[in-house]
Amino acid sequence: MRAVIQRVSSASVTVEGNIIGEISQGFLILLGVETDDTQEDIDWLTGKIARLRIFSDENGLMNRSITDINGAALVVSQFTLHANTKKGNRPSYIRAARPEQAQPMYQQFMLQLGDLIKQPCQSGQFGAEMQVALVNDGPVTILIDSKNRE
């Protein structure tokens, strides 16, 4: 499971001209589910994200978590995070989970993260053509892969 976490001052997702998810300060999370992901990946990744200290404290140091600042999360499913570009110029998505596997895991990820940050996650629409708007604060962007726990 891969997540691109962006610290934002605001973010939104629009589908067919309608805003379906919107937050102010917090995380925009682009989430990619891989074929061999399990509940263990969800547990590890949601815990890591909820504890991630990348918000500034009173001294300007990145020392606060999303829960410390009462921040929100907007989670957008993005299978293209598992693109393989090794051969040729057209990416392969063979490692990305099929929708019937990915969607329940995406939903479970949002429920668990919402429990950890003590507020429901906002979301995109699984499988839809979406427009994502954000103001990246910093900018701060972090990539976390549950299969590469460094």
As annotated, the active-site residues are 78-80
Give the number of residues written for the chain. Answer: 150
- What tokens does 121 get? 């996650």
Given a contact cutoff of 8 angstroms between Cβ atoms, the answer to whether 5 and 138 are in contact is no
> How many angstroms separate the Cα of 70 from the Cα of each of 30, 64, 67, 96, 141?
20, 10, 5, 32, 19
Strand partners, 136: 8
Helix (H, G, I), strand (E, B) or coil at 108: helix
